[in-house]
């Protein structure tokens, strides 16, 4: 499902698009790489339990500064 949403998003652009799957910290990845890009798109889920949110703050709340535009897409 996420792959289809990503494909639908990038089909609308005429310039080359680079996609990456991050297996580590999203914040660390953005800190190291954001300045090389115009836009970063990350997925987010609101379908998390209270315990999950207590143990790990949502990604969008942990991102403080980014050197590019950032889009957060809700995954269903």
* pLDDT per position as a tens digit, 16-75: 888 887 888 888 888 999 999 888 888 777 777 888 777 877 777 788 888 998 888 776
- Residue 1: CA atoms inside 13 Å, Cβ hemisphere, count? 5
> Both ends of the chain: CA-CA distance in Å?
9
Of 33 and 2, the one with more pLDDT: 33
Read off the DSSP letter of residue 34: G
Read off the DSSP letter of residue 47: -
Q: Tell me the helices (H) and strands (E) count for the chain, helix number first.
A: 4, 2
For tokens 């889920």, name the residue.
45
Query: What pLDDT, on a 0 to 100 scale, did the predictor assign at position 36?
Result: 92
- The Cα–Cα gap between 34 and 69 comes to 9
């Amino acid at each position: 499902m996420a792959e289809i949403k990503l494909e639908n998003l990038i089909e609308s652009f005429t310039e080359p698009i680079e996609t990456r799957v991050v297996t580590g910290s999203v914040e660390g990845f953005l800190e190291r790489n954001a300045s090389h890009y115009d836009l970063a798109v990350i997925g987010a889920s609101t379908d998390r339990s209270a315990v999950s949110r207590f143990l790990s703050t949502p990604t969008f709340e942990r991102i403080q500064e980014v050197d590019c535009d950032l889009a957060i897409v809700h995954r269903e």
